[in-house]
Amino acid sequence: MKLFVIIGLSVLFSFSVFAEEKGYTGFTLEVGVSGFFSPELVNADVIKIDPDSPADKSGIKVGDKLIAIEDCKIPGCGAQEGKKLISKLKGQSLPLTLQRADGSEYSVSLLVE
């Protein structure tokens, strides 16, 4: 069952955009989901930040937890909706709300490169 979930996640979060340039945010998330037919995001933790990326410039840190993509709260955001919201094109803005390890919350609006 775990193999199926991992394969499903890799398919679910592989972003492909045709005819327009896919955006670059510079962060990598470790994502947990629950449910099979209508999966929901349970958690999304920042595990990597690329130097000089939009994420780095906005102050996002490894270990931060993503708690909302636009107005879609995590946990509870549908996985398909989360994928759609985070898949921005170059030049678009990506509003995120995150939580630090100390519990403090902050919001950023990344300009996707």
At 12 the pLDDT is 43
Q: How confident is the model at residue 108 (pLDDT cuts 50, 70, 90)?
A: very high
Q: Is 60 exposed, middle or buried (0-12, 13-18, 19+ CB in 10 A)?
A: buried
7 pLDDT higher than 70: no
- For the chain, what are the domain ranges? 2-111
Contacts of 40 (CB under 8 A, 6+ apart): 33, 34, 75, 76, 77, 78, 79
Structure tokens, 80: 């398909």
96 pLDDT higher than 90: yes
DSSP 3: H
Contact 29, 46 (CB under 8 A): yes
Query: What are the pLDDT digits (tens) for 59-68?
Result: 999 999 999 9
CATH number for region 2-111: 2.30.42.10
- Reported pTM: 0.79
